[in-house]
Structure 1
Amino acid sequence: MDRRRFITRSGTLAAAATTLAAPALAQSAPELKWRLTSSFPKSLDTIYGAAEVFAKFVAEATDNKFQIQCFPAGEIVPGLQAADKVSDGTVEMAHTCSYYYWGKDPTFAFGTAVPFGLNSRQQNAWFYHGGGNELLNEFYAPYNFIGMPGGNTGAQMGGWFRKEIKTVEDLKGVKMRIAGFAGAVMQKLGVVPQQIAGGDIYPSLEKGTIDAAEWVGPYDDQKLGFNKVAPYYYYPGWWEGGAALHFFINKGKWDELPKNYQAVITAAAMAANVDAQAKYDQVNPAAIKKLVADGAKLRPYPQEVMEACFTAAKETYAEISAKNAAFKKLYEAMAAQRNDAYLWQQVSENTFDTFMMNQQRKKQL
C-alpha cells in the first residue's frame, strides 16, 4: 500500500474513532451536583462525618464531575424527615437511620438495629453477603428509594439515668428518651418512652422533664454533656448491638446514573461504612475514661433487668410479626443470621476477647 495513502487513511480512522469515543466517554462521566441531607448535626463529627467521607470519595473518584453537597439536620430538611424528602425527590439522597421511620412501619428498624439483634460485624455480614440489603431494598421499594449501609456506631451505651437502676421495679414510671422498637419493649417494663430530638435531651434532663435518655456512646454523649445532668451511665444498649447508618437514594435518580457512577457510590458507601466505626472505636476509649474521671457512675444493667428486657423483646417480635408480613420476613432472616453468627463468634472472637480482657484486668497488657 502507498505509504502516503496509508498515513492519510490511518489519520481519518483515528479521527473517526475519537469522534465516536468522545460522546461515549462524556455520557459515562457527566457533571452532576446532588444534595444529601443528614439526620445529624455537624457538631457530631463521627456520625455526620460519615456523609462527608462519602461525598469526598465520590468527588475524587470522578475527578470532581460528580459532586454531592452535604447538609446537616435542619438546614434544608428536618432531621427526622430525611427519608421523606428522598422519597418525594426534594433531595437526591440522605444519610440517616432507617429505624427513625419506625412510625411508618416497624420493619424499618432492621436497617439500623433491633433489640438483642446483631452486632456490627454480624450486621455487615448480613447486609453484604447474607441477603439483608436485598431484603431491605425490597421493603424500601414502595418508598421510592434504595438503601445501602453507611456507617456503624458499634454497640451503643444503655443510657443516662438520674437515679440508679437495681431492679426491674426501678424502671417503672421512668420517663426515658427512647423511641421506636426499644421504646415499645421498655414500655412493657413500665418505662414511659419519650421521643425527643438530640438537641433537646440535655435541657429535658436538666429540668427533670425526663428521667433518663439514651443517645449513642461515650464520644458523642460527652460532647452533649449528659454526665452533668444524669450521673448514672448504663451499658450495654441492648437495643443497638450494632447500629447501622444508611444512605437512602431516590430510586429514579439512582436509575439515571451511569453504571460507573453507581459503582463509585457503592464503593464510597462501603468506605464510609468502615471509616465511621473505625473512628468510633478510636475515640470512645478516651471518652469513657474522661467521663468516669469527671464523675460519671458507670454501671452494667443488672442481669434481672437484661433478662426481663430480653423476654419483653421476644414478646414484641411475636406481636408485630403476627400482623406485619414484611416485618416477619425480615425478622426471620435476621434471626437465622444471628443464630449462626453467635455460634461462630463464641468460638472465635469471644474466646480471644475474653482471654485478652482477663489479661487486662490482671494488668498484663
Structure 2
Amino acid sequence: MDRRKFLVAGAAAPATLAAPTIARAEAKHHWKLVTSLPKTLPGAGESSLRWAERITQMSGGELKIDVFGGGELVPAFGTQEAVENGTAQVYHGSGSWFAGRHLAHSFFTSAPFGATPDEMHSWMYYGGGQELLNEFTNPRGLQIFLGGGTSVQSAGWFKKEINSLDDIQGLNFRITGFGAKVMNKIGMNAAAVPPGEIFPSLQSGTLDGAEWVGPFNDLAFGFHKVMTHMYTPSFADIYGGIEYGINLDAWNALSDDLKTMIETASEAEANRNTSFYLKANMDALDKLREVEGLTIGTLPDDILQAASAASKEVMDEVAASDEFIGRLMDSYYGFVAKASSYKQLYEVPLSAARENHFG
C-alpha cells in the first residue's frame, strides 16, 4: 500500500481512527511533548493531545508521542529550552511566551494590528511565512509548525471601569509578547505571568487586570468570578497562535513518510483548533453576557489610538534592532496590509450588511 495515499485518505478521516484498521508497529521513535498549558485545558490544551494521538495512530505506533502538561516535566515557560537541549522532543505553546528569548517568535503568534487566522495561514503557507520561520528557527535546532489560533482575543479583564487612557495608568497587567512592550509605553506595568498563575494573581490583587485568550478560555479560568469588566478587542493578540516546536535532530531522524504525517497533522490541527475556537468563543460569550455584575464593552478610542502610535514606535525599534526581523516585518505587514485592503472591499461591507440582515 502506498503510504502517501494512505496519509491523504487519513487526513479526511474522523478524529478517532479505528484501531483494527491500523497495523501496529513497535515504536522506532518515542517522543515527549511538553506543553506550557494544562493538557486537559479545553481547546488549546486538548489540541496537543489530539495532535500527538493522531500522529501516533497514523504512524501505526512507529512514532509514539507522550504529552506532559505545563509544569509536569519542565516549567511552563521552559518548554522551548527543554526541546532545544533534548530533554523533550516537542513543545507546544505560544510563540509570544518565548519572545523574551527572541522577539521574532511573536510574529508567528500575534503582532500588533496584525494577521487574523485566515490571513496568518495564507501568509505561512503561500506568502513565505514558513520559509522565514525555518530560516529563524532551524539554526537554533528547531523545526516549528503552526497549530492553530484562537482568533481575536479579549483586550483584558479589570476590576474597575475603563473609560479612558488615564484609567489604565500604573495598572499591573498580565500580557505577553509585543503587547507587553506596547502597554508599557502607554502607561501600564506589563507582567508575563504563566497561564496557571493568572487567576490567583488576580484574586490576590497582585494583578489589577489581565488578558488571556478569549471568551471560552477566559470563562474556563473563572475570571468573571473576581473581575467585573471585560473589554474587547485585543490589538495585540489577533491570531493568538499555538505552535509545535520539534527538536531538529529528532526531526531529521524521521523518515520522509513520518515527516509528511507530522506536517499534515499540523495543518489539520491548525484548521481544527482555529475552527473550534470560533464556535466555543461564540457560545462562551453568550454565557458571559448572562453573568450578573459583569460589564462587557469595547476599549475606549483613546486607548486604541495610543496603542496604535506606540505599536508603530515598538515596530520601528524592533525592525532597526535586527536585520532578519526587518525582513520578517516587511513580509508579514506587507501581507497584512494587502489583506486588509482586500477585506475593506469585500468583508467589511458584508459584515455590515449581515448585521442589518439579521437585525
TM-score (norm 1): 0.88
**Aligned residue among 264, 268, 271 for 1:267:** 264
| % same residue | 30
Describe the superposition over 1:254-274 as per-residue Cα deviations: whole angstroms up to 9, x where unpaired: 111100000000001111111
Equivalent residue number for residue 24 of structure 1:
none
Give yes or no for contact 1:321–1:327 (8 Å, CA) kept in 2: yes
Query: Could you tell which deviates more after superposition, 258-267 or 334-343?
Result: 334-343
Query: Could you tell which deviates more after superposition, 30-39 or 176-185?
Result: 30-39
**Aligned residue among 69, 77, 81 for 1:80:** 77
Equivalent residue number for residue 299 of structure 2:
301
Give yes or no for contact 2:27–2:61 (8 Å, CA) kept in 1: no
Give yes or no for contact 2:99–2:105 (8 Å, CA) kept in 1: yes
Equivalent residue number for residue 215 of structure 1:
212
Equivalent residue number for residue 167 of structure 2:
170
**Aligned residue among 282, 286, 301 for 1:289:** 286
Whether 1:185 and 2:191 are equivalent positions in the alignment is: no
Equivalent residue number for residue 344 of structure 1:
342
Equivalent residue number for residue 120 of structure 2:
123
Equivalent residue number for residue 278 of structure 1:
275
Equivalent residue number for residue 312 of structure 2:
314
Equivalent residue number for residue 10 of structure 2:
none
SS of match in other structure, 1:322? helix
Structure 1 unaligned spans of 5+: 1-27
Letter in 2 for 1:123: M
SS of match in other structure, 1:190? coil
CA distance in 2, matches of 1:195, 1:30: 38
CA distance in 2, matches of 1:84, 1:147: 14
**RMSD (Å), alpha carbons:** 1.6
CA distance in 2, matches of 1:69, 1:348: 44
- 1:326 Cα deviation from its structure 2 partner: 2.0
- 1:71 Cα deviation from its structure 2 partner: 1.2
TM-score (norm 2): 0.90
| 1:1-365 matched pairs, under 5 angstroms | 31-295=28-292, 296-360=294-358, 362=359
Describe the superposition over 1:10-42 as per-residue Cα deviations: whole angstroms up to 9, x where unpaired: xxxxxxxxxxxxxxxxxx996322111111112
- 1:175 Cα deviation from its structure 2 partner: 1.0
- 1:60 Cα deviation from its structure 2 partner: 2.2
Give yes or no for contact 2:27–2:64 (8 Å, CA) kept in 1: no
SS of match in other structure, 2:345? coil
CA distance in 2, matches of 1:203, 1:35: 29
Letter in 2 for 1:278: S
Letter in 1 for 2:324: A
Say which one has the larger Rg: 1
CA distance in 2, matches of 1:41, 1:122: 28
- 1:88 Cα deviation from its structure 2 partner: 0.9
CA distance in 1, matches of 2:196, 2:100: 21
